Structure 1
Amino acid sequence: MTAAHVTPDPTMEAINAAVVRAHRGDVERARGNLLAIWHDIGVAGDALHRCTLAHHLADLVDHPAESLMWDVRALDAAHALSNERLQQHHADLEVAGFYPSLYLNLADDLRRLSAFSAAADQLAEASRHLAALSEGPYGDTIRIALDEVNRMVAEGDTSRRDSAPGPRSAGRSRSPGRRA
């Protein structure tokens, strides 16, 4: 996918700046920035903002139960997000492409919480949506992570995945549109 930016969006820019801050190692400040943005947009705010913020914030929390809470919020927001709204931000994205990652993240949270049957259900949902992923590095990353989480569920493994994006001391896997 190309990053065909269409409409300037200060909230998305602030979210992206916080994500970059986290990737540079300032996780606490990034988490604080994202929580402040969440406070501003609220639970009824723009679905794109809620989905993106919750999806990334789930990677920055310390416990899988907290991550699950944010991942549920991301999925709920994705259900409210239209392709029209999404394409105001990036012309080449479709909401359907978010679902494999979002369901994968729920599965990974549930697996880490020893809810293996529920994790398997979410993995099935992620698999059901795989056709929406394009070929290429992002799709490959999601497919590999899906295989990895499937294996870990089958083994009853609750450890953090080595390949999970995000800081090693926080969260686990991620990104509608960009993270596993």
Structure 2
Amino acid sequence: MPASRDEAVQEQALTADVTLARINQGVQLHHGQGRREAARDVFTQIWDEIGGERGDPLHVCVLAHSMADVQDDVEQELIWDQRALAAAGLLTDARLAQVGVPMPVAALYPSLHLSLAECHRKLGDLDRAREYLQRAQAGIGALGDDQYGQLIKGGLDRLTQQLTSR
């Protein structure tokens, strides 16, 4: 259930885009029901349908970022997060607004960079992890003071502590 009116509007807009709605169903399988493999199957089917990396950059970005979360192998997770980052570079604020996402493309980067930093930390490449962490921190000004922004900032704080304690 959405926590605010803005989130309700965003959820409604995302469900108006069939592909984003299906991606959201996969996210719910994973996060809401703990059905990681089922979510991965849904994401794989959508990936094939949208034409992979040649698809709509919004779909590619959201799907790849979600697919990264359901990987069992960290190297595969990294590949999916890199795909998401590449697709974000092709997005425009107008495209986000078209589906009702009430934030600029710049607000996506802290999450994407955080995910990449976490992958590199898991792989033991702490220098790359710190590099992506710095990129994420540099972009936090684009985040709102909402649930999403707080989630990402909390993740950045946790990762900062993990990397400074090593």
TM-score, normalisation: structure 1: 0.81
State the one-letter code of the partner of 1:18: G
Name the counterpart of 1:166: none
SS class of match (1:92): coil
Name the counterpart of 1:113: 123
**As a proportion of its length, which structure holds more helix?**
2
Contact 1:99-1:126 within 8 A present in 2 as well: yes
State the Cα distance separating 1:155 from its structure 2 match.
2.9
State the one-letter code of the partner of 2:39: A
SS class of match (1:43): helix
Name the counterpart of 2:43: 34
Name the counterpart of 1:134: 144
Q: Give RMSD over aligned pairs.
A: 1.5
Alignment counterpart, residue 23 of structure 2, candidates 15, 18, 34: 15
Alignment counterpart, residue 34 of structure 2, candidates 19, 25, 30: 25
Contact 1:19-1:56 within 8 A present in 2 as well: yes
State the one-letter code of the partner of 2:140: L
TM-score, normalisation: structure 2: 0.88
Question: Structure 1 residues 67-76 or 132-141, which shifts more?
Answer: 132-141
SS class of match (1:90): coil
State the Cα distance separating 1:40 from its structure 2 match.
1.4
Name the counterpart of 2:60: 50
State the one-letter code of the partner of 1:63: D
State the one-letter code of the partner of 2:37: E
Question: Highest relative contact order (Cα 8 Å, sep 6+), 1 or 2?
Answer: 1
Name the counterpart of 1:160: none
State the Cα distance separating 1:93 from its structure 2 match.
2.3
After superposition, the C-alpha distances for 1:38-72 in whole angstroms (9 at most, x for unaligned) are 11112111011000001111110112111111100
State the one-letter code of the partner of 2:45: A
Name the counterpart of 2:163: 153
Distance 2:124 2:101 in 1: 39
Matched residue count: 156
Name the counterpart of 2:102: 92
Identity across aligned pairs (percent)?
37
